[in-house]
Amino acid sequence: QVQLVQSGAEVKKPGASVKVSCKTSGYTFTSYGISWVRQAPGQGLEWMGWISGYNDDTHYPQRLQGRVTVTTNISTGTAYMELRSLRSDDTAVYYCARDRAIRLGEFAIYDNWGQGTPVTVS
């Protein structure tokens, strides 16, 4: 079965960086993308970025451009999300999700999700 297993909780100081991993299994990594979504405490969902497992194309929301980087290791089927210059309002649970969009501009559908990684900035 499809699984996405994320790394554990993190506590960081303001100004630091965090890197969250997402280890996938049960499907062909290069046939899907990976998107990252975060959820601040008691709040809604915010898309943070996407990477193609097929060709490593990436796409980020403008408001996070320059602070977030999404990468993959195809040999291990693992995706990574790094967020820099952390602020208190980056405190959130960070999710990776398997995305049916494999090329830029395709319809994003998050059909399987990781368990979430809490990141606290304090």
**Residues within the interface to another protein (CB under 8 A):** 35, 37, 44-47, 59, 61-63, 95, 97, 101, 107-116
Structure tokens at 22: 């997402």
18 vs 101, beta carbon nearer another protein: 101
CB of 120 to another protein, least distance (A): 16
Report how far apart the first and last C-alpha atoms of the chain are (Å, whole number).
37
Q: How far is the CB of 23 from another protein (least distance, A)?
A: 15
> CB 83 → another protein: shortest distance, Å?
16
44-79 as b/e: b if 16+ CB within 10 A: eeebbbbbbbbeeebbbeeebeebbbbebeeeebbb
d(Cα 19, Cα 39) in Å, to the nearest integer? 16
Closest CB to another protein among residues 101, 121: 101
Whose Cβ is closer to another protein: residue 37's or residue 86's? 37
Q: Which is nearer to another protein, 2 or 74 (CB)?
A: 2
Minimum gap (Å) between residue 95 Cβ and another protein:
6
Q: Which residues contact 102 (CB under 8 A, 6 or more apart)?
A: 31, 32, 33, 52, 53, 54
